[in-house]
Amino acid sequence: MRLDKFLKVTKLIKRRTQAQVACKNNRVYLNNHIAKSSSIVRVGDEIKIVSSIMLLRVKVLQIPLNNQFSDDLFVVIEQTKLTEE
């Protein structure tokens, strides 16, 4: 499954276009490499999302088959709130 679609289906990012913009702005990493929105997500991959307020790292446990959200699609490895100084 494409990375942008996975982020939308899992509700890590609200809209697919927002996921595409995040990838274009180098805010999404797949296995510690800057990711393109068209990158293919596989079971076991690690996704890191960096926003202005938060850093989120998740590990992919399952790929959704029919665009339905499930709680066991990923597990959160790290969730850090970024502070402004």
At residue 32, φ and ψ (nearest 5 deg) are 65, 20
Across the chain, which distance is largest between two alpha carbons, in Å? 43
Instruction: Give the range of the structural domain holding residue 41, as residue numbers without chain letter.
Output: 3-81
* 2-57 pLDDT, tens digit each: 999 999 999 999 999 999 999 999 999 999 999 999 999 999 999 999 998 999 99
Helix (H) or strand (E) holding 51: none
Calculate the CA 76 to chain-centre distance.
Answer: 11
pTM score of the predicted model: 0.89
Give the number of domains in the chain.
Answer: 1
Assess contact for 15 and 30: CB atoms under 8 A.
no
Residue 85 has pLDDT above 70, yes or no: no
- The pLDDT of residue 66: 79
Assess contact for 21 and 36: CB atoms under 8 A.
no
Residue 62 has pLDDT above 60, yes or no: yes
Residue 58 has pLDDT above 60, yes or no: yes
When pLDDT is averaged across residues 57-70 and rounded to a whole number, the result is 88
- The pLDDT of residue 84: 64
User: What Rg do the C-alpha atoms of the chain give, in angstroms?
Assistant: 12
CATH number at residue 9: 3.10.290.10
